[in-house]
Amino acid sequence: PQSFNRLKYLPPYYTLSQVELDIALDPARTIVKSRLEVLPGPNHEAGLPLVLQGQELEFVSLRINGEAHRQFELTPLTLTIHALPHDGCQAFSVEIICVCIPEKNTSLMGLYVSNGNFFTQCEAEGFRKITYFLDRPDVMARYRVILRAREAEYPVLLSNGNLLSTEKLANGWHTAIWEDPFPKPAYLFALVAGKLECIEETITTSSGAKKLLQIWVESHDLKKTRHAMDSLIASIYWDEKRYGLELDLERFMIVAVGDFNMGAMENKGLNIFNTKYVLAQAETATDADFANIESVVAHEYFHNWTGNRVTCRDWFQLSLKEGLTVFRDQEFSADQMGSESGRAVKRIEDVRLLRQLQFPEDAGPMAHPIRPDEYQEINNFYTVTVYEKGAEVVRMYQTLLGREGFRKGMDLYFKRHDGQAVTCEDFLMAMADANGCDLEQFKNWYGQAGTPTVSVVESYNAAKKEYQVTVTQHPPANVKNKDTKLFHIPLAMRLLTPAGDQQESLLELTQESQTWTFPDVETRPVLSINRNFSAPIKLDFDQSEADLLTLFSSDDDAFNRWEAGQKLAMQMILQGRLPDAALISAYRDLLMDPALDPAFKDLALTLPAETYLYEQCVSVDPQKIYVARRAFRKAIARELRMEWASLYQQMQTPGPFNPDAASAGKRALKNLALSMLLEADPLIWSPMAVNQYRNADNMTDRYAALAALVIQGSSSAVACLEDFYAHFADDPLVIDKWFSLQASRPPVTDAVATLSDVRRLQGHEAFRMNNPNRVRSVIHAFCMNNPASFHQMDGSGYAFWAESVLALDAINPQVAARLARGLDRWKQFAQPYQSLMRAALERVAESETLSADVKEVILKALG
């Protein structure tokens, strides 16, 4: 397979100034006429041909400077034009007519049809499925777009930028002309056409300009758009306040679509969203949905500056925009929590996600630096490493430079690079130059894969009243390069003493090993290190259970307080122990502390995920881990049944539903209590859960009660599931929840039952193999979110996985490639799992029709 290398980047031979598109939309035959104003590029040489990318297109005609042109070659992936006027040394125009077939496009890249309407997805390389083009992010042009369609079927015609005019044509067709004043790469192009309606608001931004905001959905969904609009408005004001960045267009649109490969897309002025990240109302969306919508709306909006105004030179630089924009959305969401404890809760959630998903990636066969050096299919590199670890790296600049220093760096970045396509190094240099500091060693975070381990050894000299800590960095175990470079690691730390007299400080670990000495420490302190998860590392610190209990009950850093509890639980689960009296008592004190945020209590009493526990083992026995974790949980449920019962009462949220963080935190703790009570005393508490299921006025409480019943294998679960389906049959997003709850149900008696459930769900009338959300709620949920049912000693889960990867690959390679990642960590498992997984991988590898997407993932896993 062809692979692309970061160091082989060449500037373009040709570039574009202006693009005019005239698109006549028809599901069976869309005609695309383009007129490109071409200029010699930075790397031009006289006589070079112009090579355009094009995929799955029917070529019709080519004109150069208005004249028919015959010196060209077509391949399945390119249109190469020879004999250019003046050897291509002066500007010339290219006019191309071609045809594509949106209704046959199940890959959901390029132009496609969803529920009768047209949508596009161009990042990373989808524009070439619409027309022949210089489809690379360092070619930026101004676009003028004429959309044509039959008015009765497609009354709304949208594209990027500003609407110039509309016109009714005689034959029942109509047109709309859009112009985007900002030069952009093709991946930010978008069009939408169909029967849609919008809610709109006008706001005034910092310069006093009026801006039109619209959210476009199918008419029956209009009532579910308020939260997305509020999130958008909050994002716009936050970016002005925190970074001085203003919305630059007169109009900003969000459109929701039910068939979408990922969460959302930041096309200039016309963001396209998976319905899952737009539509919400109390009756149909959970607190998690509300929070996700807020953060995805913010993320896409923030891309308008970090991604669109300043974009990536090439796709290896993806983290330049994604890591930075994730960091920005994390900070926004933290601020929206409304309190310091809320900020900490958000931080814990973000780190939990990183460690559950990114750490395994960084330890597995697809490990790559946040700026990869090599890829075969770029779509495989929209990863938790590029996004979430990328965000951690951006966060470290802020930790090292302070908020003000970070802001200075951002200001210089925009001053230098507005309107350009740049690299991660340009970002680093802006940070360094704005702060007059040397970030040379910090660069290593961009170039090396794997999670570094930092080991800590401490000593206290009671006679001298002196405390010493020695910190050593160890390169990630899986890093292949011989000359491993040392990282620049910021470690926030504080010595906890009874007197509370020690301040927080920041240790900068830049050498392999460094020792810090602290004088005047009156009593042996307890070390709190890597506070707020200041660096994305694994900490190897053999702290006693007594010290961990001290941290868990009194660390003033909420993240480390939570972390101490996780570490205690993790160690005991992996040793097959149940929580001892001291830990139970610490849990009890924490749960009953009136000063603590309920959302924090919920996180503190939620055990580390099975997949995170896997990462701590040399040879994973998934069934053993499942049993040990479940037993540990049952013990917490039983030992604290009085506390759970009283919290279940105390955490009720009377009055109308409010999705704010404070109310959501109370609901989370209440519903944790309910599930614990069901675990402890199912016969007593099942009727209470059924009662909550029936009477809830919001989806969070209704779904939580249903989930508790299903997970417990309660006899009432079946009737409630049937009722739920009947009630929400018309709402695809709610039906996705119904599917995914069943597919991710852990084994109650025997796990084979779950696989047969999954096969039954696949035969259900509402199952759709070509809708990514539905597929993810059944197949991905089972294979990637239900480890105890998936990892069976008969290999049935893996056989199902292989069959599903192959079936999906024929429909949608991106969705299939995501599922293909499900066996990445096969080498880490004990037998017989390991051999069975390998056999399943080999079965997929044998297929002769694999997409580049799936092939890369499978061959790297086997390699």
Interacting residues with ligand B3K (CB under 6 A): 123-124, 262, 264-266, 299-300, 303, 322, 379, 382
Is 811 within 8 Å of 773 (Cβ atoms)? no
**To the nearest whole angstrom, how small is the minimum distance from the Cβ of residue 382 to ligand B3K?**
5
**To the nearest whole angstrom, how small is the minimum distance from the Cβ of residue 524 to ligand B3K?**
47
Of residues 299 and 737, the one with the C-beta less far from ligand B3K:
299
Of residues 311 and 530, the one with the C-beta less far from ligand B3K:
311
Backbone angles phi, psi at 631, to 5 degrees: -65, -40
Is 278 within 8 Å of 315 (Cβ atoms)? no
For residues 786 and 610, give the distance between their C-alpha atoms in angstroms, rounded to a whole number.
9
For residues 561 and 413, give the distance between their C-alpha atoms in angstroms, rounded to a whole number.
36
Catalytic residue among 300, 331, 361, 679: 300
Q: Please state the separation of Cα 822 from the chain's center in Å.
A: 16
**To the nearest whole angstrom, how small is the minimum distance from the Cβ of residue 364 to ligand B3K?**
20
Token code pair at residue 302 = 């923030």
**To the nearest whole angstrom, how small is the minimum distance from the Cβ of residue 380 to ligand B3K?**
9
Of 589, 626, 625, 591, residue with least CA distance to 605:
591
Of residues 324 and 677, the one with the C-beta less far from ligand B3K:
324
Of residues 311 and 777, the one with the C-beta less far from ligand B3K:
311
Residue showing tokens 């101004």 = 142
Residue 265 binds what, of Zn ion, ligand B3K, none (CB under 5 to 8 Å, by partner type)?
ligand B3K
Label residue 310 exposed, middle or buried (CB < 10 Å: 0-12, 13-18, 19+). buried
**To the nearest whole angstrom, how small is the minimum distance from the Cβ of residue 387 to ligand B3K?**
7
**To the nearest whole angstrom, how small is the minimum distance from the Cβ of residue 194 to Zn ion?**
25
Measured at CB, which residue is nearest to ligand B3K? 123
Token code pair at residue 5 = 């290398």
Point out which residues pair with 96 in neighbouring strands.
Answer: 34, 62
Of residues 135 and 547, the one with the C-beta less far from ligand B3K:
135
Is 309 within 8 Å of 244 (Cβ atoms)? no
67 is known as an active-site residue: no
Residue showing tokens 């910021």 = 490
**To the nearest whole angstrom, how small is the minimum distance from the Cβ of residue 294 to Zn ion?**
15
Q: How many CA atoms lie within 13 A of 311 on its CB side?
A: 27
Of residues 322 and 610, the one with the C-beta less far from ligand B3K:
322
Residue 235 binds what, of ligand B3K, Zn ion, none (CB under 5 to 8 Å, by partner type)?
none
Of residues 322 and 736, the one with the C-beta less far from Zn ion:
322
For residues 574 and 577, give the distance between their C-alpha atoms in angstroms, rounded to a whole number.
8
Of residues 378 and 751, the one with the C-beta less far from Zn ion:
378
Contact pattern for Zn ion over residues 285 through 324, marking x by CB under 5 A: -------------------------------------x--
Label residue 99 exposed, middle or buried (CB < 10 Å: 0-12, 13-18, 19+). middle
Label residue 44 exposed, middle or buried (CB < 10 Å: 0-12, 13-18, 19+). middle
Residue 382 binds what, of Zn ion, ligand B3K, none (CB under 5 to 8 Å, by partner type)?
ligand B3K
Of 493, 516, 517, 632, residue with least CA distance to 574:
632
3-class DSSP assignment, residue 107? coil
**To the nearest whole angstrom, how small is the minimum distance from the Cβ of residue 378 to ligand B3K?**
8
For residues 141 and 477, give the distance between their C-alpha atoms in angstroms, rounded to a whole number.
44
Residue 406 binds what, of ligand B3K, Zn ion, none (CB under 5 to 8 Å, by partner type)?
none
Lay out the sheet containing 117-121: strands in order across. 110-114, 117-121, 191-194, 156-159
For residues 473 and 590, give the distance between their C-alpha atoms in angstroms, rounded to a whole number.
34
Token code pair at residue 630 = 């479940």
Token code pair at residue 446 = 């961009």
**What single string gives the DSSP state of each residue in 816-851?**
HHHHHGGGTTGGGBPTTHHHHHHHHHHHHHT-SS--
Of 385, 372, 327, 316, residue with least CA distance to 138:
316
Of residues 30 and 319, the one with the C-beta less far from ligand B3K:
319
Label residue 512 exposed, middle or buried (CB < 10 Å: 0-12, 13-18, 19+). exposed
Size of the site for Zn ion (CB under 5 A): 2
Contact pattern for Zn ion over residues 498 through 527, marking x by CB under 5 A: ------------------------------
For residues 465 and 480, give the distance between their C-alpha atoms in angstroms, rounded to a whole number.
44
Of residues 79 and 262, the one with the C-beta less far from Zn ion:
262
**To the nearest whole angstrom, how small is the minimum distance from the Cβ of residue 306 to Zn ion?**
9
Of residues 300 and 639, the one with the C-beta less far from ligand B3K:
300
**To the nearest whole angstrom, how small is the minimum distance from the Cβ of residue 272 to Zn ion?**
13
Residues 6+ positions from 413 with CB-CB distance below 8 Å: 310, 426, 427, 430, 431
Please count the other Cβ atoms lying within 10 Å of the Cβ belonging to residue 448: 22
Of residues 678 and 775, the one with the C-beta less far from ligand B3K:
775
Stretch that binds Zn ion, among 119-127, 325-333, 442-450, 480-488 (CB under 5 A): 325-333
Residue 262 binds what, of ligand B3K, Zn ion, none (CB under 5 to 8 Å, by partner type)?
ligand B3K
Label residue 723 exposed, middle or buried (CB < 10 Å: 0-12, 13-18, 19+). middle
Of residues 264 and 850, the one with the C-beta less far from ligand B3K:
264
Residue 566 binds what, of Zn ion, ligand B3K, none (CB under 5 to 8 Å, by partner type)?
none
**To the nearest whole angstrom, how small is the minimum distance from the Cβ of residue 296 to Zn ion?**
9
**To the nearest whole angstrom, how small is the minimum distance from the Cβ of residue 384 to ligand B3K?**
12
Is 99 within 8 Å of 106 (Cβ atoms)? no
3-class DSSP assignment, residue 643? helix
For residues 12 and 93, give the distance between their C-alpha atoms in angstroms, rounded to a whole number.
17
**To the nearest whole angstrom, how small is the minimum distance from the Cβ of residue 262 to ligand B3K?**
5
Residue 123 binds what, of Zn ion, ligand B3K, none (CB under 5 to 8 Å, by partner type)?
ligand B3K
Is 172 within 8 Å of 150 (Cβ atoms)? yes
Is 323 within 8 Å of 387 (Cβ atoms)? yes
Is 256 within 8 Å of 195 (Cβ atoms)? no
CA distances from 853 to 335, 618, 819, 841 (A): 38, 29, 11, 15
Residue 379 binds what, of Zn ion, ligand B3K, none (CB under 5 to 8 Å, by partner type)?
ligand B3K
Residue 777 binds what, of Zn ion, ligand B3K, none (CB under 5 to 8 Å, by partner type)?
none
Residue 386, H or E segment = none
Residues assigned a catalytic role: 300
- Chain positions contacting Zn ion, by CB under 5 A: 322, 325
